[in-house]
Amino acid sequence: MGSPQTPPRPRIRDNIVMQKPVSPLDAQPAVGRREDEDEIDLLGLARTLWRGKHWIALCATLALSYGWYKANVASTALFTATAEMALEVDSAPVLDINAVVSGFSGDEASINTEMAIVRSGDLIGRLVDELHLEQDPEFNAYLPDPDYSPGLITRLRGTISEALRGSEQDEGAESLPSPQEQRQELIDAVRGAFETESSWDTYVFSISATTTDPVKSQLLANTLAELYRDDQIRLKVQATERAATWLSGRVGELRAELDERQNEISDLRARSALVSAESLQALNAQAIELRTTLQQVQGQLVQIDERAAELRAAASGDTEAKLAAADDGQLEAAAAELAASEPGAQIRFDRRYSQLLLQTEAERERAQKQIEELQRTVEDLSGQFEGQSADFQALQQLEQEAEATQVLYETFLNRLKETTVQESIHESDSRILTEARVGEQVAPRSSRIMAMALLLGLLLGAGIVLLREFLQNTIRTAEDLEQHTGRTVLGQFPRIPARSRPDTIEYLLNKPTSAAAEAIRNLRTSLLLSNVDRPPQVIMATSSVPNEGKTTLTIALAQNLAGLNKRVLLIEGDIRRRTFQAYFSQAKGQHGLLSVIAGRSALSEAVVRPDNLGIDVLLGEERSAINAADLFSSESFKRLIEMARAQYDYIVIDTPPVLVVPDARVIAQQTDAVIYVVHWDHTTKSQVEEGLRQFRSVNLPVTGLVLSRVDPKGMKRYGYGGRYGAYSRYGRSYYDN
């Protein structure tokens, strides 16, 4: 049978794979990926939980068993007794002494504070002393429990520990906590038995005690309520006593300070008897009047100095100049006589002018003396005014201080009197509404514990299932493989129950109607129909990593194609490992693929024909120093494939894993169909994606994928047993085991 005309194929040189164009015949419809992968698939989540229902049921059962054990075996019965108290808010005090002793304000913060006081260390400590709780083993961990009986293992462990410690027992006794620390632990243990809770929108709160004895719980609740109520009165009395003591001392101090201020006022008044506001006002008026007179005299002195200067300047001048400077009637009369040339007129004129000079000098001296006298008087008045003003201010300050001290003294004296009266009329800010009754059992609550255990078990089981599903990174279903890769899954090939490789051949020969045989027929049908116009003649199978079942798949596919009465050649393309010899023992010593490519042997001489398989097998040979990628890139290998096309109807090539060596991508250049084998629940999604990317990088189409070595029991364990026909329970009547 002649081979159909094939399209030109790219040359391969220097180990570089030349990309070939993808024709419409080579392209296969890809399965679309899911959109909105970030959205939560509730139906898928429900399916996942349903598949893990056995894990969830197991976790729920274990949790339920543990809850029953804790509720009925390992837990101690607890009893709670509750006393109710009401806070007095509206009761008015007998005397208004809120500044001395503050009471309850009634707001929410105050209520919470009062509840915290109930569980305070001081109040719990007095409760311990009141009821001698240091003798109670429930609270004092350092007391032996008379009801405790150690088991055999515990006694044996204690005996061994004592033998090993020896003399270290005394040292262990020294390591016990101090009495103060033991008491603090006792108080903490008793505090843990109490709870306080306020009623909403009221001033009522409850005190609950929880212990292993119902009567003890009642006694603890009632005693603590009484201690709290009495403690409020005690604290008020103590506060009142402290206030009275402080007020007494403060009143004495204020009395002494007031007496001191009054004595200082008396002394100051004695030293300054005339000091008053009126005397200071009179001194101030007198000083103002003297300053006015002083200013007037100073003005007159200035005029006299000017007249004297003019007279002295005109003394050396003529008569007219002297008359103008003097402005005197007698001098003018003497000047008239001088003009009339009367005898002695000049002498009289000069004498009069000299008299005017002397008179002016005398007036000037009198004015200066008067100014000096006025200045001394003003200074004296100013000194008196300042001194009396300072004394007056000091007196006013002393009187104000004395008045303030008097007010404080009277105020504190009144508070002291009120506090003294209040000591005998204090009342508590709270009262007991309802005394606690005998405690009721509150734990263990079996139904609640069982329900919570069941819920936690279900959540734990669901979490384990979801975590396992989240961490799962392998392929388990054909649907998952299609959605992840976007490529068509041509078939699913189950695990063949064979212990050795020769047993695999025997299984294929002896089980022609097995599930594996039917899966290969389905694969053959899907493969031949993948391109109706030009069915593939040269078919290769590869995988991501070794041991994914591609060799078994190629052998089974070649045998199945031979069942169509076709001539089939099976080529071992994985010449690096050469596993075909383990399947076909009769092929040892024969020439193989390298001999044919090198031209040392003809194809018909190199092939072997295993018994009953009906196919020719061309095995690989030891390659020595030959590089496999270079070999498959050669023109000789291309001619071999062309020769095989002419002599056989189908050529099936088993190739190495694509992620390990580049051989598969080189060989794929000469093939018509590429089958990508994925090991069920073994190959990771990233490995499959990287392998397909290797083919896309050189523009080589992958015809389809095969999910190999599928374990039907594992499918059923993961919850997929009923969803895939070839491996479901419905195929039992059709397939051989």
Structure tokens given for 533? 């116009």
Q: Rounded to whole angstroms, how far apart are CA atoms 420 and 268?
A: 39
Q: Go through the chain and tell me how many residues it has.
A: 737
599 in the same domain as 725: yes
Q: Is residue 262 a part of any domain in this protein?
A: no
Write down the H helix ranges in 272-315.
277-314
Q: Rounded to whole angstroms, how far apart are CA atoms 606 and 600?
A: 10
683 in the same domain as 546: yes
676 in the same domain as 726: yes
Q: Is residue 33 a part of any domain in this protein?
A: no
620 in the same domain as 497: yes
Domain range for 565: 480-731
Bridge pairing between strands 650-654 and 430-434: unpaired
**Contact between 110 and 203 (Cβ < 8 Å):** no
Domain count, the chain: 4
Q: Is residue 164 a part of any domain in this protein?
A: yes
Half-sphere exposure of 52 (CA within 13 A, CB side): 22
350: which residues sit within 8 A by CB, 6+ positions away? none
pLDDT of residue 77: 84
Q: Is residue 668 a part of any domain in this protein?
A: yes
Q: SS3 of 707, please?
A: strand
Q: Is residue 82 a part of any domain in this protein?
A: yes
Q: Is residue 1 a part of any domain in this protein?
A: no
144 in the same domain as 68: no
51 in the same domain as 113: no
140: which residues sit within 8 A by CB, 6+ positions away? 133, 134, 182, 186, 189
662 in the same domain as 533: yes
Give the N- to C-terminal CA distance of the chain in Å, as an integer. Answer: 37
| Residue-wise DSSP of 177-202 | PPHHHHHHHHHHHHHHTEEEEEPTTS
Q: SS3 of 319, please?
A: helix
CB neighbourhood size of 311 (10 A): 19
Amino acid, res. 115 = M
**Contact between 420 and 240 (Cβ < 8 Å):** no
Instruction: Give the DSSP H or E segment for 526.
Output: helix 515-528
450 in the same domain as 518: no
| Residue-wise DSSP of 72-140 | IIIPPPEEEEEEEEEE--SPPPSS--TTTS-----SHHHHHHHHHHHT-HHHHHHHHHHHTGGG-TTT-
563 in the same domain as 435: no
Question: Which CATH number characterizes residue 200's domain?
Answer: 3.30.1890
Quote helix, strand, coil % in the chain, to nearest 5: 60, 10, 30
pLDDT by 10-residue block (mean), the chain, 737 residues: 39 39 42 52 81 88 88 82 84 45 64 88 93 91 65 58 56 68 92 90 90 93 92 83 86 85 77 64 79 84 82 76 76 78 80 81 84 83 75 78 85 82 72 90 83 92 85 84 90 87 85 87 91 92 94 94 94 90 73 88 90 90 78 93 96 95 94 95 92 93 93 63 48 53
pLDDT of residue 401: 83
Q: Is residue 6 a part of any domain in this protein?
A: no
Question: Which CATH number characterizes residue 512's domain?
Answer: 3.40.50.300
414 in the same domain as 395: yes
pLDDT of residue 29: 43
394 in the same domain as 515: no
Q: Which of 419, 434, 462 finishes a domain?
A: 419
Q: Is residue 241 a part of any domain in this protein?
A: no
230 in the same domain as 291: no
Q: Identify the bridge partners of residue 84 per DSSP, sorted by sequence position.
A: 206, 434
Amino acid, res. 45 = L
